[in-house]
Amino acid sequence: MSMEESLLSSKSEQLRSLKTEVWVESKKIWRVAMPSIISRVSSFGTLVVTQSFIGHVSSLDLAGYALVQTLIVRFINGILLGMSSATETLCGQAYGAKQYHMMGIYLQRSWLIDLITLTILLPILIFAAPIFKMLGQDPSVSDSAGYISLWFIPFTYGIIFSLTIQMYLQAQQKNAIIAWLSVLQFVVHILLSWLFTNILGLGVAGAMVALSISSWLVVLGEFVYIFCGWCPNTWKGLSIAAVKDLIPVMKLSISSGVMVCLELWYYAILVLVAGYMKNAEIAIAAFSVCLNITGWIVNLFVGLMGAACVRVANELGRGDAKAVKFSIKVVMGTGVVIGVLLWVLCLCFGNKLGHLFSDDEEVVELVGDLSVLLANTVLLGSIFPLLSGVAVGTGLQTKVAVINFICFYVLGLPIGIVLGYVVHLQVKGIWGGLLVGVGCQTSLLSFLIWRTNWENEVSKASERLDKWNLRSPNGSN
């Protein structure tokens, strides 16, 4: 064999090896991502179903439900989601380091921290009616919202367990059970809602009871899965060790909470800003349609975000910096390919997207005008959640929180207000500010990940795990 043929054979062998490695890594990523996507879509669907049944009871109660669900529940859910993401970091790294017994302790610590957090936030649900009246909402709608918000209390307490257990299970790639439970929840929720509202005639109370029962059905299923022996290595029972090192974990949880909330609240503020424009009803409707489209797409990339977090955390805990970098390349490549496909679809069908949500031609026309900005936001939205997932898996939540604050509130929001009101671009100006904020965030996160020394991060993860490691019940470390 000549030297040239030998060289070609070597390159061909390397290419086959690379394809095999990418395929293996992709399977690991989608094994975590797909159940997470199914779970989030199903959970979102239960809220939509509840809204639909309440809408057939009373338009007044529909408005009250919308206020509570889009403002208060989203606000609380954002905080709990952020606080719980510390569980992703710690459980993922502990699993990679084979400190399996610590994962159950980290899970219990997250329960304690989230229960304390939600209890502090509980007055927002209890006093929703006077809060909405103080904000200038219609008194009758506010009273309806105050009644409905009380029914959301058991639902929000269920969120604590469903969020944290999902992160605990996906860290060990056992979250397929979550997907099955979420689909079961969705089906049961439809049946219970129909039974309680249409057959028994319980109205709003029936719809909210159905929501609570179906959401806790998932939690009970998760408890059975964990407590009855399907996680023998990572669950050793309830332990007093959960209160040890609670303060350091709480600091990481707070950093995670701030990171996520700064991002989630930004979109709510933009809708509020749009409400002060000329022809505000059309502006809010069109803006909300675009945000709903991005919201459905975000469910896909949040699933991939969880996979990015798990893979990075696992490899950091395992001490393999090279594998961390390879995993990042594969998950980012996957996200970009999907993002480009969605970007093309938004550009091709942008003028028709509005018809999916509204029959008002003004709203449809404005959505069409925003389609190019929407497409570019979707493209960037396929990148920054994955970068955030890498950061969470690494434990860089504090740095990401600073980046989110600068990009969204120092740059994006002021630019959007100036373009919308001063330059008179209206909703296009607000969305332009959103695009600037997301673009800056994506650029800074990319720079942060690119400049990260992964060998150092491996050392930091090892030091953190060794510091917080406790003896397992069998006496070993």
Nearest residue to 260 (alpha-carbon basis) of 312, 222, 329, 309: 309
Q: E strands within 227-364? A: none
Angle at 260 between CA 207 and CA 253, to 5 degrees: 100
Q: What is the pLDDT of residues 356-385, one digit of tens each?
A: 655 667 777 777 777 788 888 888 878 888
Question: By the 8 A CB rule, do 109 and 249 touch?
Answer: yes
Q: In the predicted model, is pLDDT for residue 320 greater than 80?
A: yes
Q: In the predicted model, is pLDDT for residue 261 greater than 80?
A: no
Nearest residue to 150 (alpha-carbon basis) of 129, 120, 119: 129
- Residue 476 pLDDT grade (very low, low, confident, very high; cuts 50, 70, 90): very low
What's the whole-model pTM score? 0.78
Mean pLDDT within 34-58: 83
Mean pLDDT within 32-36: 86
- First vs last C-alpha separation in the chain: 55
| Three-state DSSP class for residue 13 | helix
One-letter amino acid at 76 equals: I
Backbone φ, ψ for residue 203 (5° rounding): 65, -140
Q: Which tokens sit at 4?
A: 């040239």
Least confident of 152-156, 221-225, 245-249: 245-249
Q: In the predicted model, is pLDDT for residue 475 greater than 50?
A: no
Least confident of 46-55, 201-210, 234-243, 298-307: 298-307
Estimate the crossing angle of helix 100-126 against helix 74-96, to 10 degrees.
170
Q: What is the pLDDT of residues 145-156, one digit of tens each?
A: 899 999 999 999
Q: What is the pLDDT of residues 102-146, one digit of tens each?
A: 899 989 988 998 999 899 999 999 999 998 888 777 788 889 889
The residue written with tokens 């332009």 in the block is: 432
pLDDT at 465 (0 to 100) = 76
